[in-house]
A and B are shown apart, each in its own frame.
Chain A
Amino acid sequence: MRTTLTPEQITERLAKRFAEGVAAHLPPGEGSSQLAIVGRDLLLDVLSFLKSNPELSFDFLMDVTAIDHLHFEDPAIGERFVTVYQLYSTTHNHRFTLKTPVPEDDAQVPSAVELWGSALWAEREAHDMYGIRFEGNPDLRRLLMPEDFPGFPLRKDYPLRGRGERDAFPQYLDSGPVSRQAAGASAEDAPEGPGNGEGDGE
């Protein structure tokens, strides 16, 4: 039985089940689709509810990514990082987006790999790019960057052109692996503003 639900109906069902734990959030602008923000202690419960409830039955975890809210504070999030889950149901043909705020000083979140296999590499990439640890993910090696790369490139305090790794990469390979937590936490570089010459157009 195919019953396509709107994101509003899905958040309604989530609110009915989890009461205060799930907050509905509607991004501004016309035609935006509603999404839900859930704390990380409830995340796995919400995800497994979304997967197993026959009315929702989200069998696809399409994507896991993160956002760094360093330069753009979102009052609905309240933390520096947020992980974003894109879900899709082949049974009912509807989509849903779920967000989980992650604080900067304790950047970890439970892994969804028990529920969906696709979380394995998606979370691995988010870990590689943002330094968020997904507790329970069995394979949290770096995915795209070299094993001993110091830093998390998609964080907003990491400059676009890097910290000199690309020009002197044999030297940085020589210096040995730098502690990841130390490298990620020390934001000695000034945050790179949007105006750095790239967006100048013609």
Chain B
Amino acid sequence: MGLEKLLGDNIITTSVNSLASWARKNALWPMPFGTACCAIEMMATLSGRFDMARFGAEVIRFSPRQADLMIVSGRISIKMMPVLLKIYEQMPEPKWVISMGACASSGGVFDTYTLVQGVDQFLPVHCYIPGCPPRPESLLDALMKIQAIIGEEGERDEKEEMEIAAQLEKPASAERETTEPPLPGGS
């Protein structure tokens, strides 16, 4: 933008979106929807040895209204699925979902009458973790992948904003383009 030259080395300029996503990805507040064995490994990830706090995601929120990352860990039965949806609906945007373990991702070995065969039938899932149950390292890896996704979203938003700004700065001769600015996120 040319502003950096005036401000010197001590100031970084960025867009609001980039800043927000940078903040978001480094301070995720997980909502642990733990039901079964995977929940035990999730608790292991949160506690001493693996210490999810190293990745800025230690503030476990059992209240969905304060959380932005849902970790669905464990088997989800047809009796539990409405509860899961309810909690997902209560989480404020933007929100991300990790489907931890084989059962949450696909039903796993339990191809039975009562188990939902993958929560992605009902929720948008951003990251799947294989394993039954996955090791804590896998959950940390998934967390980093989610951080990467959030970062990319911020960069993409920033790029789009720059494009829009460039479009707006164009001289009035390009009339037909300014009447219809490109949609944000249009692919």
Chains A, B in direct contact (C-beta < 8 Å): yes
Residues of A within 8 A of B (CB): 145-146, 153, 158-163, 165-167, 169-170, 173, 198
Interchain nearest-CB distance for A151 vs B (Å): 8
A153 with B114: CB separation less than 8 A: yes
Instruction: List the B side residues contacting A167 at CB < 8 Å.
Output: 117, 121
Sample of 28 A–B contacts (CB below 8 Å): A145-B114, A146-B78, A153-B113, A153-B114, A158-B113, A160-B112, A160-B113, A161-B111, A161-B112, A161-B113, A162-B112, A162-B113, A162-B114, A163-B113, A165-B78, A165-B113, A166-B78, A166-B113, A166-B114, A166-B115, A166-B116, A166-B117, A167-B117, A167-B121, A169-B81, A169-B116, A173-B82, A198-B111
- Our count of residue pairs bridging A and B at CB distance below 8 angstroms stands at 36
- In the assembled complex, the Cα of A198 lies from the Cα of B111 at a distance in Å of 9
Residues of B within 8 A of A (CB-CB), count: 12
Instruction: Give A102 to B81 CA distance when docked, in angstroms.
Output: 35
List the B side residues contacting A162 at CB < 8 Å. 112-114
Give the Cβ gap from A166 to chain B, nearest Cβ, in Å: 5
Assuming A160-B111, A167-B117, what are 15 further A-B pairs, CB within 8 angstroms? A145-B114, A146-B78, A146-B79, A158-B113, A159-B113, A160-B113, A161-B111, A161-B113, A162-B113, A165-B113, A165-B114, A166-B115, A169-B82, A169-B116, A170-B82
User: What's the Cα separation between A86 and B115 when bound, in Å?
Assistant: 29
Q: Tell me, in angstroms, the Cα distance from A191 to B121 when the chains sit together.
A: 28
Question: What residues on A are CB-neighbors of B79 within 8 Å?
Answer: 145-146
Q: Within 8 Å CB of B78, what residues of A?
A: 146, 165-166, 169
Complex CA distance for A59 and B59, rounded to whole angstroms: 49
Residues of A within 8 A of B116 (CB): 166, 169
Task: Encode contact with A along B93-125: 1 for CB under 8 Å, 0 otherwise.
Answer: 000000000000000000111111100010000
The distance from the CB of A85 to the nearest CB of chain B, in whole angstroms, is 26
